[in-house]
A and B are shown apart, each in its own frame.
Chain A
Amino acid sequence: MAKNLAFDYEELDADIRRKDQERIETLEAKKGILAKILLGLVMIGPGVLVMIADNDAGGVITYAQTGAAYGIGFFIPALILAGFIAYVVQEMTVRLGAVTKRGHAEMIWGRYGAFWGWFSLIDLVVANVLALITEFIGITLGMGVFGVPHWISAVVASVVDALILLVLRYYTWERISLWIALGNLVFVPIALMAHPHWSEVANAFTNWNIPGGFTPVFLFVVLANFGTTIAPWMLFFQQSSVVDKGLKVKDIRRGQWDTAIGTVAMVLVALAIVILTGTVVHGLPNAGDYSISQILTVLGHKLGPTGEKLFALGMVEAGTIAAIALTASTSWAMGEAFHWPKSINMPCSRAWKFYVPGIISAIIAAAVVLWPNAPLGFMNLAVQVIASIFMPAAMMFLILLLNDKGIMGIHVNGRWQNISAFVIVGLLVVLNGVYGLTVIFPKL
């Protein structure tokens, strides 16, 4: 009986996925520019979503505080470099997902055993729940500008987050998420409202130096910015999303374009925020220590209420899209690890095990945000600590899998892809190690 039900799940999932694949194939068969444009739009999805969701509420706060503290000098070229790094990492998940038709958690568990499977899963789920808390904090802060009480924002955010996962099937889930993701671009017009000195922006490329010298605080900001650009959940999310979308090997090139478009959008938004606060807030007394609320107040004074409200709206959007992605990522990873149903295509009445982890993570996050005197600073730190320990490990699994000819066949990493990936892992290990040492031994 149970076996028959399991069979039904897979049939149902395959049916819906087949429809999504047929939509792509119908457009491929058609000729003309309109069909090509529509095909391009249909293929946009996992790459854009993962990159935009990476500009989450915590990311927006990090970029805003970075611009306020250091201006636009060092971090503009650094963020462009971080964009390249994000593309190199995420592109590998497209190939891995399209070739194996399996998610990242499933691959680690199946190829490297239960120890590394549990290690990855626990890290991912804990980091996701903690990150979800920061998303809800961002949403409540943003909605606070419009006078909405925190408890209402947190409850509504968790309900919306849960409903999007529960009610929608993959294609509609992806389309609605993309419309929400589009709101991330709101930071670009706000940056333009600040009338930045473009000569200063151009100077950042010709005169790249470390403002104030190489201090532990500066290293922390660099790590926070890199940590904001590449994170473990992104690997799991995009690979599962590629699989759930039903992308095939022939779709790899389009998946790469999707990832590239997402990277450009992500970097554009990150630059806009750094340029905005680098222009408007940087240079004010103690700007380096400003909280996001103080930055919002300065934006209100200098750009008027429209600027402040648009920025707040951007924070709400950033938190919402990231919450959607994190919740789905948790459900996918749990489903893959424990061989539960693992597709957004499955109705919740028949695949509740898949949906429960994501929904519980949203409820926990909302509850923590509403908990008075919750140690939010500690949680934010814990996210960074877990991510910094876990990211090199997640990257190593990715590189190992992408070099596994038995799995990837002719789609294994090329020489330059491996060199780039190893350089990124090396950079992460060195940055994390140096930061750890400078914090513990400040006199070094």
Chain B
Amino acid sequence: MAECCGGGNRLVYACSGGADVGEIADRVARKLVKTGFARPSCLAGVGGHVPGFVASATGDVVNIVIDGCSVACALKTLEQVGADMTHFVLTDMGLKKGRTPVEDAVIDRIAETIRIKSSGRVEESPASTHDGCACGGC
């Protein structure tokens, strides 16, 4: 295990809803994690008021929240615990609910847009993906 961390302090959440845009939200969030831009968290953990997840969401972090549509379930879940967030709605970004193919080109484009719009809120070092600690940079 590495001695220390080297990452940013972004956590990402997706609504992961049943519609195509919900699936895209989920895959975009996973891509942001895989590319080291953000760390994963769990919307269900926050919604279930699991203390660790709530404390993580309300810590000194930037929460990136991705909703597939304007119903904004993920936003409302994070609001319940008083978390600040940067919020994205995929249907506001040009996707059509029920009419958008879940394919890599779409996921890559949305992930890149979110990455650009979310940059600058924290130091630019990417979130670490190694097995070290998960602190917000030390």
Same complex for A and B? Answer no
Task: Show the binding face of A for B, using Cβ within 8 Å.
Answer: none
